Structure 1
Amino acid sequence: MKSSNPVLGRISAAAQQPRYSVPGQGAPAGYPQADGQGYGYPEVVQTGHADRMTIDDVVVKTVTLLAITAVSAAITWALVPLEMVRTVWWAAAILGLVVGLVISFAQVTNVAVIAGYAVVEGVFLGAVSKAYEYLFEGIVLQAVIATLGVFLAMALLYKAKIIRATPKFMKVVIGIAAGLGIVMLVNVVLYFVTGSVGPLRDGGPIAIGFSLVCIVVAALMFVVNFKQIEDGVAAGLPRKYGWLGAFGMLVELVWMYLEFLRLLSYLQGDD
């Protein structure tokens, strides 16, 4: 799993200030400490409002990335023969992991790089989805509906302020998500070494429980991303940071979709 989108903390200072920090604010992923309190923020170029990040702009960018991913997935599904699916699956997964980590830690806002990531994720999802659909007819549509349903539910809960992304909430959720990412990465390495998926992915009770935990954490990561995007808008960040917000949403949607695929496959039978 890739890290969450590193878009910034809320501030109340005027947008004309070249640098911001908020004492006691929760840590946006990937940003350094500033003066021993709060977190440092990248310099905000003094531009007109048209050149600043907005919620609507992030929504458009997110939809754009999802469309690129969907088209790439559809092409992969249609063109890659079933016997080549697993090879394409793993190649795209490894490339996507590397590119995703580079985007996250280097805070890349280049449109071509992030769009390229969406293409790679589409290839990965197309191969994975074709394999699962071959084994469990109808499972892809179920996973898509479940993923979108959870996303919309979390968006409504956040909008209604039923779930609040406090600094402590963000630190805990990001920490748990990072821990799960490490566990999953170790499990993949063990799979390549031993040839066994282990109890976390074998379809048994532990695997079902692990997927449920991952789905819950992925849902809470939506709230973290909503807050980071909202704070980036409040900070008056340049529009290019909207691509990082969209990237973060794509990462979480892909993760949740994969976990729903796994969970539904466990409930329908052995992989």
Structure 2
Amino acid sequence: MRSSNPVFSRRGFSRDNGYAGFNAAPQAGGPAVGTVQGNPYAQAPAGDTYANPYANNPYAQQDLQGAPPQAPAAGRMTMDDVVMRTATTLGVLVVTAALAWALLPVDAANLPKSYGIAIGFGLVAMVLGLVQSFKRKASPALILTYAALEGVFLGVLSNVVDTHVASGAAMQAVIGTIAVFVGVLVAYRAGWIRVNRRFYGFVMAAAMGFLLLMAVNLLFSVFGGGDGLGFRSGGLGIAFGVIGVLLGACFLALDFKQVEDGVRYGAPREEAWMAAFGLTVTLVWIYMEFLRLIAILQGND
């Protein structure tokens, strides 16, 4: 299972790539050497390599013959690592967003300058995010720099919407994002959301269609003026805002699954930074969709 999040899909947090590898079949006629079913951290057991892929894997979180699960080996990612890295990344983003809100005024006289700075920081953050997504190793400095620059962009954008479009929209968007995160986490842990190939395929197809329509709308708005096809305002804008939030919730479920697999199958500890980065990207998506949706709803009052 590959994640919809490009960060996780390239890092191997999946059952068919990297640390889990249940679908990685051996070469025909070739011996099973060094790994078990595609898991580079599992030692191949003697005899039948398919009978018990956990038998000689010191990192597998598996209850064998009634014995209690063993503690994670040193150097392997744990859920605590993911939580701490994610809290650090989001903390940097929130601090820089608050500073940008306070130090970059968005009154009529200063709005063009502040908004221009925010757009510049947002573009650089996007480039850094793409660079980190395609790097083979996590770079904490790069991830934290991305979070800081993205925070400046979100701080100014939120201030603009809160001041000129919909009062209180930023706080409502924060509350909405937290509610979605907690709701999806509870549903995932309770087993109400089943992340499988069908779920993944549906989410990816919906996301591709959503992004394609947004791109077409942007082109029409650039060359035709106004709101293009109307996907960013009015009834259509509200509908697409709700779809965007729901897609973000689905991305969260996929991300939770990939993090869980990374912990279970012995991903290196530095991968916790990649998990934090991927979760941050998804939360930023949800927050921006909420911010836009609230602005449309209050603007129609």
> Where on the TM-score scale, by shorter chain, does this alignment land: which range?
0.7 to 0.9
Residues 189-204 of structure 1: matches in 2 within 5 Å?
A: 189-204=219-234
Q: Distance in 2 between matches of 1:158 and 1:189?
A: 37
Distance 1:120 1:19, change over 3 A: closer
Residue 14 of structure 1 corresponds to none
Q: Distance in 2 between matches of 1:172 and 1:41?
A: 26
1:105-124 CA distance string (max 9 Å, x none)? 33441101111110111011
Residue 112 of structure 1 corresponds to 141
1:184-213 CA distance string (max 9 Å, x none)? 345445544444332344421111111111
1:227 and 2:226 aligned: no
Residue 134 of structure 1 corresponds to 163
Count how many residue pairs are aligned between Structure 1 and Structure 2. Answer: 254
1:158-184 CA distance string (max 9 Å, x none)? 000110111221233134324433443
Bigger helix share: 1
Distance 1:186 1:4, change over 3 A: farther
Whichever residue aligns with residue 159 of structure 1, its letter is: R
Q: Distance in 1 between matches of 2:147 and 2:293?
A: 24
Residue 8 of structure 2 corresponds to 5
Q: Distance in 2 between matches of 1:222 and 1:35?
A: 35
Q: Distance in 1 between matches of 2:125 and 2:135?
A: 15
Q: Distance in 1 between matches of 2:216 and 2:114?
A: 23
Whichever residue aligns with residue 269 of structure 1, its letter is: G
Shift of 1:35: 6.5
Shift of 1:19: 7.1
1:218 and 2:223 aligned: no
Distance 1:122 1:104, change over 3 A: same
1:125 and 2:154 aligned: yes
Q: Distance in 2 between matches of 1:244 and 1:178?
A: 23
Contact 1:199/1:206 (<8 A) preserved:
no
Residues 1-271 of structure 1: matches in 2 within 5 Å?
A: 3=6, 5-6=8-9, 7=11, 8-10=13-15, 21-23=21-23, 43-44=40-41, 49-82=73-106, 83=111, 84-135=113-164, 136-269=166-299
1:133-157 CA distance string (max 9 Å, x none)? 1022111111100110011000000
Q: Distance in 2 between matches of 1:34 and 1:179?
A: 36
Q: Distance in 1 between matches of 2:184 and 2:207?
A: 17
Contact 1:68/1:115 (<8 A) preserved:
yes
Distance 1:19 1:10, change over 3 A: closer
Q: How does the TM-score come out when normalised to structure 1? A: 0.82
Equivalent position SS for 2:8:
coil
Distance 1:204 1:261, change over 3 A: same
Deviating more after overlay: 232-241 vs 102-111: 102-111
Contact 1:3/1:178 (<8 A) preserved:
no
1:232-255 CA distance string (max 9 Å, x none)? 112201011111111111111111
Whichever of the two has the greater Rg, that structure is 2
Distance 1:163 1:101, change over 3 A: same
Q: How does the TM-score come out when normalised to structure 2? A: 0.75
Shift of 1:56: 1.3
Q: Distance in 2 between matches of 1:107 and 1:34?
A: 24
Contact 1:65/1:118 (<8 A) preserved:
yes
Larger RCO: Structure 1 or Structure 2 (Cα < 8 Å, ≥ 6 residues apart)?
1
Contact 2:77/2:270 (<8 A) preserved:
yes
Q: Distance in 1 between matches of 2:137 and 2:213?
A: 26
